Amino acid sequence: MKVLKVNQPASAGIAMGRAALYKPKIRKIAENTVDTNEIPHEIERFKEAVLKAEAQLKELSEANPIFAAHLEMVKDSTLHEAVILKIAEEGQNTEKAVFGACEELITIFGALEDAYMKERAADIKDIRERLLNNLTGVSAAFLTYGEDAILIAKDLTPSDTASLDLSKIKGLITRDGGITSHVAILAKSLSLPALVGVKEIMEEVREEDYLILDGYNGEILINPDGEILDKYNLLLEKHLEENRLKREEESLAGKTTDGREIHLFANVGNTGDVKKAVNFQIDGIGLYRSEFLYLNSSYFPTEEEQFLAYKESALLCGKEITIRTLDIGGDKTLPYFPMEKEDNPFLGWRAIRISLNEKEMFKNQLRAILRASAFGKIKILFPMIISLHELLKAKEILKECMAELSEQGISYDGSIETGVMIETPASVLCAEELAAEADFFSIGTNDLTQYLLAVDRGNAKIAELYNSFHPAVLRSIRLVTQAAHRYGKKAGMCGEFAGNEKATKLLIGLGLDELSMTPAKVADIKYTLRRISYEEAKSLAEEACKQTSAEAVIRVLEEN
Amino acid sequence: MVSQTFIITNQNGLHARPAGELAKIASTCSSDIMLRVGEKRVNPKSILNIMAAAIRCGTEIEIECTGASEEEDLKKLCEAIEQGLGE
């Protein structure tokens, strides 16, 4: 048995079946010189091929939006001009002109630095194939497969994947492409196990080889023996059972086996996200990032505009919703609000620091939130707090806004809760006095980890130092939950760590009351949560906090 | 000539789908349109040009419309970009 490995699986899951190798025929591009009098005919052939492609893509785009983009590409004037120039000026036949014009574009895209954009060269290859198919009437793609097939290809274009028979195909493996390629995105959306970028795949696998594709560990097992097959059959059954239970338990309460209830919330950026989030079984919105209202506008959104957005979100959600006040600065700036260039923007003028300086802007937002609070259970979260003084000042401004609204006879929730986002080391160490004044805490692990460990996670050289399992992060979380609980307040978490199943038991043990995450993760976390004993989690958290490195913490978690 | 600046908030920037949506709408406008991103000038009626500019999330772009229907066209593009270009 041979095993191939990749670092990062494109789509999780386990597939078992026979290898089906996708063998495109080699396309031979006819090359002949076109006489001047034939030029109009060649251009006409190109236009016909384009029209045909447009009709095909219109139909395909109903099922997959990527083809709507392809439709724009075949209609694109840049492409048309390049092809027609090659025919008219250089006397190339249409096939050669289409091939060449697309090749130039593929080179341009292939040279882009952005990995995501680079992958788009595949889109151009795809429309080139489509145009050439239409021109020659011959398709270069060739593929047959039986039941339970694992499809193996150098690369798959969206057009290839659109024509796959998914009742037979159990998994996909490609030699090229990264985890942002079409194949990866499509496989994920279909929950089809897939690995991409498996360099040796075309040499190592033959047609009809029996394969196990392990999309959890990123492994391909070629012709495994009976013992391994049995192991994977069991594993596959276990996963199917797990997925069935996840769906079944989705609507049940998020409780540990010994009855500790944990609220599971969604993180959102706008009203559209709220609409999507309520399709999942969430207990509310734990983090509404209000900065997107500002980023999506070409001027400071007015009180009225903000009010309408918050109100609609509150009504759509129907449960509690925590709105974080404007968090710009750092890596986010507004085009209509000039900020001086800073040497250390993440340690600079950002979030609550801006709000407290720009009082009128802040009051606009607070008034909008207050007015919306008459339509649902809204809470306010202040970002980047480093001292009690800032919290008191923010609350004082909030009181001012309340007084103004009362005077104008506008209704709002007079007992609206205000919380502190714990994301600076200072707020951790001042948690005690903050807990006395705030109604709740929400720990933002992304920034907290970055600030505590002094690691810029965008810096590839030190990226591996960025790790939320670091004992300093865990001990900080414990300090914060303990302080909150001493004052009878709740402590939640809204960073990426909250949606990591590997951390759930630890986080529950550290005393968190709420976890807020991307809505698609809620079912997974609930499933994990419902199998955790709070008592056991507490001892595990104690043990983890005693460790001296992130690696040691992870080892402790794996042993439990 | 009328113009407006935007910050792109699409998570993966103006990749194929949002770029296609922008090109589709720009193509229905009769005024001359220019998209400026940093030093680059891009024809937003061409999806390939937009994609080749590799405009990422958080990037500032400026749209300029010149022609008889410039106000109307800019408004149309404005709305589409603010609504996330179909995403």
Tens of pLDDT, residues A478-514: 999 999 999 999 999 998 899 999 999 999 999 999 9
Confidence check: pLDDT of A115 > 90: no
Task: Note the ipTM here.
Answer: 0.77
- Residue of chain A nearest B61, judged by CA positions: A335
Confidence check: pLDDT of A247 > 70: yes
B15 catalytic, yes or no? Answer: yes
Q: Count Cα atoms within 13 angstroms, Cβ side, for A501.
A: 12
pLDDT at res. A141:
58
pLDDT at res. B13:
84
Q: Is the CATH code 3.50.30.10 the one for domain A2-23+146-222? A: yes
Q: Cα separations (Å) of A261 from A23, A391, A474, A513?
A: 54, 29, 21, 8
Nearest to A108 by CA among A124, A95, A130, A94: A124
pLDDT at res. A139:
66
Residue A101 tokens read as 């014009």
pLDDT at res. A143:
66
Structural domains for chain B: 2-82 (3.30.1340.10)
Domain boundaries, chain A: 2-23+146-222, 36-136, 258-533
Confidence check: pLDDT of A371 > 90: yes
Which superfamily does A258-533 belong to? Phosphoenolpyruvate-binding domains (3.20.20.60)
Confidence check: pLDDT of A239 > 90: no
Annotated ligand binding at A289? The verdict is: yes
Helix (H) or strand (E) holding A490: strand A490-493
More confident: A518 or A428: A428
CA distance A181 to A177: 6
Fold of domain A36-136: Enzyme I; Chain A, domain 2 (1.10.274)
Q: Tell me the pLDDT band of A557, cut-offs 50, 70 and 90.
A: very high
pLDDT at res. A434:
98
CA distance A296 to A292: 6
pLDDT at res. A232:
93
Q: Which residues of B touch A458 (CB under 8 A)?
A: none
Q: Which residues of B touch A333 (CB under 8 A)?
A: 7
Q: Tell me the pLDDT band of A142, cut-offs 50, 70 and 90.
A: low
CA distance A376 to A324: 16
Among the options B15, B17, B36, B56, which is catalytic?
A: B15
Determine whether the interchain pair B47/A117 forms a contact, defined as Cβ–Cβ distance below 8 Å.
no
CA distance A530 to A245: 11
Confidence check: pLDDT of B17 > 90: no
A470 catalytic, yes or no? Answer: no
0.90 exceeded by the pTM? no
Determine whether the interchain pair A69/B43 forms a contact, defined as Cβ–Cβ distance below 8 Å.
no
CA distance A451 to A468: 11
Mean pLDDT of chain A: 90
Among the options A70, A182, A263, A470, which is catalytic?
A: A182
3 state DSSP class of B83? coil
